[in-house]
């Protein structure tokens, strides 16, 4: 069974999507419709902006989404996934790819999500850090025993968890996790505490936008971040999209469940190859295919 996976924030690069834009009038039209919907020429920033431009949350998220979805569209009839999954933001790309969302509705939600997250970041100073070389249970236990807000946010692969929370909480957790045996505790250059309780204001805003968006019956199951399980019921998909903002990205568990359910190969659609590396660390026997 063939599965497709879609990357999240951090996979962007200057020049992303330019070859696709120039490859056909059909794909160029999709990029231009995205420019119109966003209200500024995001393609200019994608193709020839600066790294700093692409790091702005309100640019990063729609840029990655647009690139990922258009890569899937470029495959034409050869794109027939048996299952899909996306890492954080990538879940929206996955839902367009399996026809649960239209391109336009998906992009509108991504814009609403990016804006809501940016506002939440500005309300509270917050941070994230990557913890390398510790078992999940140890990271969970240390975070649970810290007074300030800090939680596991991304279960990326065995031995790699990202924690998220207040600046004080993340700093204290980094010290205690290093004492507990972590090989490294690396602060991340991000706008704020994604996938933590500090995103509650963003979750409330996005919940309204998602409630007002039509989610169709998907063409194949989507393995969603919050529970790592396959979903095909529109109402469940909506609930999980809302919960995703304050809940952890269970990527390790998602890939393990996809393999258990028959995934034989994984193809990453979008900028970068981050997820390919994570999949290999989760399951060494997984077959990675390129577009």
CATH of residue 233's domain is 3.40.366.10
Same domain, yes or no: 83 and 130: no
- Whether 192 is covered by a domain: the verdict is no
Same domain, yes or no: 55 and 134: no
Same domain, yes or no: 145 and 226: no
Tell me the average pLDDT of the chain: 96
- Whether 255 is covered by a domain: the verdict is yes
Q: Which helix (H) or strand (E) holds 268?
A: strand 265-268
What per-residue confidence (pLDDT) applies to 290?
Answer: 84
Task: Identify the segments of the chain with pLDDT beneath 70.
Answer: none
Tell me which of 3, 68, 88, 93 is the catalytic residue.
88
Same domain, yes or no: 81 and 217: yes
Residue 195 annotated to the active site:
yes
pTM: 0.96
Domain that holds residue 201: 2-122+197-289
What per-residue confidence (pLDDT) applies to 55?
Answer: 87
Residue 254 annotated to the active site:
no
What per-residue confidence (pLDDT) applies to 175?
Answer: 97
CB count within 10 Å of CB 235 equals 9
Same domain, yes or no: 247 and 158: no
Tell me which of 3, 93, 166, 195 is the catalytic residue.
195
What per-residue confidence (pLDDT) applies to 174?
Answer: 98
Same domain, yes or no: 159 and 76: no
Q: What contacts 24+ positions apart, CB below 8 Å, involve 224-233?
A: 224/85, 224/91, 224/254, 225/86, 225/87, 225/88, 225/91, 225/249, 225/250, 225/251, 225/254, 226/250, 228/253, 228/254, 228/256, 228/257, 229/257, 230/83, 230/257, 230/261
- Whether 43 is covered by a domain: the verdict is yes
Same domain, yes or no: 70 and 212: yes
Same domain, yes or no: 132 and 225: no
- Whether 53 is covered by a domain: the verdict is yes
- Whether 280 is covered by a domain: the verdict is yes
What per-residue confidence (pLDDT) applies to 264?
Answer: 87
Same domain, yes or no: 25 and 94: yes
Same domain, yes or no: 107 and 168: no
Domain count, the chain: 2
What per-residue confidence (pLDDT) applies to 291?
Answer: 84
């Amino acid at each position: 069974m063939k599965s497709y996976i879609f990357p999240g924030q951090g996979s962007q690069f200057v020049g992303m999507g330019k070859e696709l834009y120039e490859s056909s009038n059909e794909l160029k039209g999709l990029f231009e419709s995205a420019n119109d919907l966003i209200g500024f020429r995001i393609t200019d920033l994608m193709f020839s902006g600066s790294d700093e431009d692409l790091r702005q949350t309100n640019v990063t998220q729609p840029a990655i989404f647009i690139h990922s979805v258009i890569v899937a569209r470029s495959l034409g009839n050869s794109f027939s996934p048996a299952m899909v999954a996306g890492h954080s933001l990538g879940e929206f790309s996955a839902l367009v790819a399996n026809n649960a969302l239209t391109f336009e509705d998906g992009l509108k939600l991504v814009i609403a999500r990016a804006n809501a997250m940016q506002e939440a970041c500005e309300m509270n100073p917050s941070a994230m850090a990557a913890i390398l070389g510790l078992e999940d249970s140890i990271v969970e236990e240390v975070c649970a025993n810290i007074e300030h807000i800090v939680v596991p946010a991304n279960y990326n692969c065995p031995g790699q968890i990202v924690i998220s929370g207040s600046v004080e909480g993340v700093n204290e957790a980094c010290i205690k996790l290093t004492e507990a045996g972590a090989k490294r505790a690396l602060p991340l250059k991000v706008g704020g505490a994604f996938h933590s309780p500090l995103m509650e204001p963003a979750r409330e805003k996005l919940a309204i936008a998602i409630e007002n968006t039509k989610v169709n019956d998907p063409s194949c199951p989507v393995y969603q971040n919050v529970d790592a399980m396959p979903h095909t019921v529109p109402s469940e998909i909506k609930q999980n999209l809302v919960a995703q903002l304050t809940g952890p990205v269970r990527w390790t568990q998602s890939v393990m469940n996809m393999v258990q359910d028959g995934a034989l190969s994984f193809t990453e659609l979008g900028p970068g190859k981050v997820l390919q590396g994570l999949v290999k660390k989760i399951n060494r026997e997984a077959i990675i295919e390129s577009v």
